[in-house]
Chain A
Amino acid sequence: MMKTQSCVEVKNEWGIVAARQAGRSLSKEIGFGSVDQARITTAISELSRNIYLYAKRGEICLGAVERPTKMGMQKGIQIIARDHGPGIPDIRQVMTDGFTTSGGMGAGLPGVKRLMDEFLIDSETGEGTTITTTKWLR
């Protein structure tokens, strides 16, 4: 599904900035407006911060995607956040609003989910976490 893919390693705050940069360029290229660019970049920011804070290192992979619709092919951006950190013991808890360990209102995974269109989370304690999220161009 991913046409082109580039990955950015996240192991410090520079990695977060680099991932944001890559996300902004790609979303601009795909044709997202400035507000959606900000949303996508914020989603990448949150996901990379989680990697940096909890798993210490991981990667953000970005790619343009396409899907067929009644109106023709629809373009979108897909973000895959991957780490081999401790994993999330209670996924339901982290997906619930109001739960946050790093402070900041409204941030966290439910926040990311609301910024994007599709959201998939997979995590295993001791193995790591993979989050795949997509936003489609309207």
Chain B
Amino acid sequence: MEQTVQNLEETYKSILQTFLNRKSEQGLYEAQQFSKVLLEHQISPEELVSIHRAVLEELYPSVSVEIVDSLDLLLEVMMGYGLAYREHQSLRDRQIELESQINVAANMQQTLLPKAVPTVDQLDIGVISVPANKMSGDYYHFIQDENECVGVAIADIIGKGVPAALCMSMIKYAMDSLPEQRLQPAALLENLNRVVEQNVDDNMFITMMYGSYDPRTHDFHFSGAGHEPGFFYKASSDQFEELYAKGLVLGVSKRVKFREYSQRVDQGDFIVLLSDGVTESRIGDRFVERAEITNLIRKYMHLSAQELVESVYYELAKLQEFILKDDFTLMIIRRKV
């Protein structure tokens, strides 16, 4: 370390000497570049003042004592900057450590999401989920059984980080391992609610909507746990209706019953499920209106389900300059035939 400081002092002396002999922009530029070298070597501000003083006395032995003494005062003042600088370094190191932890958790989370959208003859399914930060609180999952019934779930986990990711794996496990429950959305939510209530923090909860489409009867049976209402588009009347399933958010009460709803899906109809990151998109100072969302969907309705969700996302994100305040998840399930 001593060796390096010596070299730096020599370099600084030559830069200063050159500059004092001929004041030029180049000299200042050299100094600015040297500043980066100093920072790389973690030379603190007070050390630099000391270097400057030593170099000055070396170059100009007859320099007035007041000037040299004034540098003592400057050194003392720079101590404060030195303390702040060191704290900044320490915080930066800590941040790097935290970010790598978050990356690990975010990757864990990615593995819990479905790899692909299910392929069902009758249906055209599109989904988009964009996290506001590295870790998403939104989750969605699909399941299929031998009868070609398709179960879809959308959930918003309140609470962040690893506990939220753990909740996601709970939902995934509940759906994947209870085949008889798929056609009984209410029972599935009741089951999940018990698990969530026992295992999460008092301040955490999950909103969720779960439904199952039966291609034999063309019915969509669904239940909701405090989740943002979706939409149902009826092709015959070219109208959007609210798709709402009233229920208490998961994790609050040990014994809750969920209501089951049923919606007939005709050809051309589609189901829209979303998280509140969609309905809480901000346009300037205000929140987007639900009617504006259906208008956007209407605009891109001629596209495939996947293209449709991506286009709607793009427009809403554009209105917010691509800075999302909340995780955005939008899913569309259209009956083709």
Contacts and interface: CB of A to CB of B under 8 A. Distances in A.
A touching B, CB within 8 angstroms: yes
Interface of A: 33-35, 38-39, 41-42, 97-98, 104-107, 110-111, 114-115, 138
Nearest to A105: B84
A44 to B, nearest CB: 12
Interface in B35-82: 46-47, 50, 53, 72, 75-76, 79-80, 82
Residue from B2, B75, B82, B91 having most chain A Cβ neighbours under 10 A: B82
Interface of B: 2, 46-47, 50, 53, 72, 75-76, 79-80, 82-88, 90-91, 94
14 contacts: A34-B72, A34-B75, A35-B46, A42-B79, A97-B90, A97-B91, A98-B87, A105-B83, A105-B87, A106-B86, A110-B87, A111-B87, A114-B86, A114-B90
- A-B complex: 7 closest residue pairs judged by Cβ atoms: A106-B83, A106-B87, A106-B84, A105-B84, A35-B50, A111-B83, A42-B79
Main secondary structure of the interface of B (DSSP, over half): helix
Residue from A38, A98, A106, A138 having most chain B Cβ neighbours under 10 A: A106
A98 B87 CA distance: 8
Contacts of A33: 50
Given A105-B84, A106-B85, A107-B83, A35 B90 contact: no
B299 to A, nearest CB: 47
Contacts of B50: 33-35
A114 B86 CA distance: 8
Contacts of A97: 87, 90-91, 94
Contacts of B80: 104, 106-107
B83 A98 contact: no
B316 to A, nearest CB: 35
A34 B75 CA distance: 9
Contacts of A115: 83
Contact of B46 (A38, A105, A110, A138): A38
B252 to A, nearest CB: 31
Given A106-B80, A107-B80, A138-B2, 20 more contacts: A35-B46, A35-B50, A39-B46, A39-B79, A41-B76, A42-B79, A42-B83, A97-B87, A97-B91, A98-B87, A105-B84, A106-B82, A106-B88, A110-B87, A111-B83, A111-B86, A111-B87, A114-B83, A114-B86, A115-B83
